[in-house]
Structure 1
Amino acid sequence: MLFRTIRNYAGVACFLTLASCGNKQQQQQQQGPPPAVPVTVEEAATTSAVYYDEYPGTVTPLNQTELRAQVTGYITGIHFKDGDKVSKGQKLYSIDQQVYDANYQQSLANVAVQEANLVKAQKDADRYHELDKKDAIAKQQVDYADAALESAKKQLAAAKATAESVRANVRFSGIVAPFSGTIGISQVRMGTSVVAGQTVLNTISTDDPMAVDFTVDQKDIYRFSQLQGKGTKDSTFLLAFGDDVYPYPASVSTIDRAVDAQTGTIKTRLVVANPKHVLKGGMNTIVRVKATTGASSVVIPYKAVTEQLGEFFVYVVGDSSKVTQRKVTLGRQIGTSVVIKDGVKEGEKVVTQGSQNLREGSAITTAPPQQAGAPGAAAPAKK
């Protein structure tokens, strides 16, 4: 009896399940296929558009050096104004110059004394040798005279060497510009004590033209080697400071001798005119290098691309207004468009708006959605 009751319940449950499935199928048949998703599409095109690769760079003088004290003493003269344009050989600083001039004069006087002593020693030696020929003097006296002559010669040579050393100090006590350029703000003032080889007095640098240093990946060495010497007329290289573009084009002057093994990059140097002295050493800039996409590059709006787990996809419109999700390989972004290296061909249509509502095989429509009350819109149901 119990078994018959369970069997009856099972039969009822099965009947109810079949009825439910039948109702769902009937509802789906009544509803029909899902409505087409309204989207916006655009056609992939080819272009040879110009764009700029960008690299961070640093402005640096082509020639720059620190001025250091070459003698020890006190600053007794500053012969320029901070920031002046100076010429090669122009006197900039004096360091105890009167003291070194006095020392030099003293060394010259010592040379004169030693020259006089040499003359006396030479005469004594000559006279003793004459007496020795007549056997009128002891041999020992002749030897003493010869020794005194040699000593006088060496003392004169030492005095001359000392004079040359002091003369060099006199020259070094006056610091001059090693080349024409702009001198910076002085690091010392009148009366400052300076030490030879240690104290930095100032820095001088050239300012027209200027250099811009930046690094490029080693795979681009050949490209930049081909561009070396170009760019001053066709604006291949430009400098950007924020939204402002520097009006004078640059050109590649030097590519470093070796690649940095740790970073895989190589330093490249541009040269750019600076007639108005706007560029200053140490400024940061963006180096813009002109390039082209090539005549056969396919481009689509960048907003058509979606990213999933590091890969990029677009929805391509196929037959019967249905879409297919397709993986693409991206190239250079150009404004609001992007170059497609692989995945989309010229003339194919891609979805640019509404892709968030799509899935593989979704039907689409490009007609604008109907507004309530518009002609052809369904009338509201009567209550």
Structure 2
Amino acid sequence: MPEKLNPMKRVLLLTTIFISVMILAACKKKQPPVNPEVPVNLYKVTAKPVLYYDQYPSTTAALSQVTLLPQVQGAVTGIFFTEGSHVKKGQKLYEIDRRIYQDSYDAAVANRKVTEGTLTQAQQDADRYEYLNKYNAVAKQLYDHAVITLQNARSQVKSADQAVKTAKTNLSYAVVYAPFDGTIGFSQVKLGNVVTANSTVLNTISTDNPMAVDFVINEKQLPRFEKLQQNKHQDTDSLFTILLSDNSLYPVNGKIAVIDRAVNSQTGTITIRLVFNNPQGLLRVGMSCVVRVHNQEAGPQLLVPGKAVVEQMGEYFVYTAQDSLMNNPKAGADSAKNKIKKLVAVQKKVQVGQTIGANMIIKSGLNKGERIVVDGVQLLHDGSQITTANKVGPSAGGKGGR
């Protein structure tokens, strides 16, 4: 005979059976329909003229820049400029204690006078001995010594002349002048500082008008910029402009000055240098800005809302709305009306161009007049059934509807 269950085991068994029945009932609940229609908004692709700029991060640079180093040693005795100001070529900037160099110059001049006197005396002696030598009235040795003394005196004068030039040069180096027109920076030395020749940095001066703007492009774009450089007379206004760091537009247009000599083999890029006049000094060396290159493509462009474009692993896609015939689940198998027209999302690969605000230019992959999905893109895959029922037109201007 089977063993009789005690009350506790009986309760446990009933509870287990109850839970199993509930789980089974939950599994048999009606599943949601497969491939429901996704509500979307559509936009009809149109072509229209578009004004836009290709933009490149850039940095301002000086066409010429030099670090000022002293050519002589000594204490700084004078500073004759305002830091950060514009200076003119030849303007006096620094003075280094010139007393020792003045003394050296005076001594060199005095020594030259002595050698000139010695030369005069040697010339007179040589002339006298030469006259006497004609009549054999003087020893041959004395005449030879007089000629040699004259030659030595002439060499001493030349040496003294060079010493005077050197002393004069060192004296001139005691004053540092601006090598060209430009903006001078903060002084790296103060009054009384002792500087070392060709070592101590005094300051840096850079040209400020015109100003260079450097930016980097991909080597694939190089032919375009070479054509722009060769075409000296551009028909398009504002071909090269820059946006400053506060997003304001610099009021002067630029032009291509230099294309770097070589492409960087590691990055596949090359540097372009533009030149902008800077009459008001708004541009300073090292500023970050954005170069804008005016679009010169003629004809209308396909412009679509940017939210309609999906990026997948570096490629871009849109979903177009297309009508498709599908089986009608409400019609019988033998009914003549077993096919109905449904709206289906079809994924298409596109090549994108410049982004303009909330919109994006499509270079290829789409045709004028096609309808694309602009809202509800995240819920779609290729072949999804879509509907525009009870939807409001997107903000980009498209209208819902089939």
Common fold by TM > 0.5? yes
Q: Deviations over 1:345-370 (max 9, x none)?
A: 21111111123444444443322169
Corresponding residue for residue 84 of structure 1: 85
For residues 134 and 178 of structure 1, do their structure 2 counterparts lie closer, same or farther at Cα, with a shift above 3 Å needed?
Answer: same
For residues 32 and 75 of structure 1, do their structure 2 counterparts lie closer, same or farther at Cα, with a shift above 3 Å needed?
Answer: closer
Amino acid at match of 1:326: Q
Corresponding residue for residue 14 of structure 1: none
> Aligned equivalents of 1:310 and 1:202: distance in 2?
48
> Aligned equivalents of 1:232 and 1:61: distance in 2?
28
Per-residue deviation at 1:182?
2.0
Question: Secondary structure of 2:283's match?
Answer: coil
> Aligned equivalents of 2:222 and 2:375: distance in 1?
40
- Alignment partner of 1:67 is 2:38: no
Amino acid at match of 2:207: T
The equivalent position to 2:271 in structure 1, one of 246, 261, 267, is 267
The equivalent position to 2:364 in structure 1, one of 338, 342, 362, is 342
> Aligned equivalents of 1:103 and 1:32: distance in 2?
104
Please give the residue correspondences for 1:111-260 in structure 2 after superposition, counting only pairs within 5 Å. 111-228=112-229, 229=232, 234-240=237-243, 241-260=245-264
Deviates more, 1:143-152 or 1:248-257: 248-257
Per the normalisation by structure 1, the TM-score is 0.81
Question: Secondary structure of 2:136's match?
Answer: coil
* Pairwise CA RMSD: 2.7
Amino acid at match of 1:325: V
Whether the aligned pair in 2 keeps the contact of 1:36 and 1:364 (CA below 8 Å) is yes
> Aligned equivalents of 2:236 and 2:173: distance in 1?
45
Amino acid at match of 1:366: T
Question: Secondary structure of 1:109's match?
Answer: helix
Corresponding residue for residue 355 of structure 1: 377
Per the normalisation by structure 2, the TM-score is 0.78
Corresponding residue for residue 56 of structure 2: 55
Per-residue deviation at 1:118?
0.6
For residues 359 and 141 of structure 1, do their structure 2 counterparts lie closer, same or farther at Cα, with a shift above 3 Å needed?
Answer: closer
> Aligned equivalents of 1:104 and 1:166: distance in 2?
5
Unaligned runs of 5+ in 1: 1-23, 371-383
Q: Deviations over 1:251-270 (max 9, x none)?
A: 22222233333332222111
For residues 232 and 176 of structure 1, do their structure 2 counterparts lie closer, same or farther at Cα, with a shift above 3 Å needed?
Answer: farther
Q: Deviations over 1:220-246 (max 9, x none)?
A: 222222323567981122212243332
For residues 231 and 195 of structure 1, do their structure 2 counterparts lie closer, same or farther at Cα, with a shift above 3 Å needed?
Answer: farther
> Aligned equivalents of 2:311 and 2:81: distance in 1?
62
The percentage of aligned residue pairs carrying the same residue is 43
Corresponding residue for residue 286 of structure 1: 290
Amino acid at match of 2:109: L
Question: Secondary structure of 1:300's match?
Answer: strand
Q: Deviations over 1:59-118 (max 9, x none)?
A: 112222121101122212222222232221111111222321221111111111001001
> Aligned equivalents of 2:34 and 2:97: distance in 1?
100
For residues 122 and 219 of structure 1, do their structure 2 counterparts lie closer, same or farther at Cα, with a shift above 3 Å needed?
Answer: same
Please identify which structure carries the higher helix content: 1
Question: Secondary structure of 2:272's match?
Answer: strand
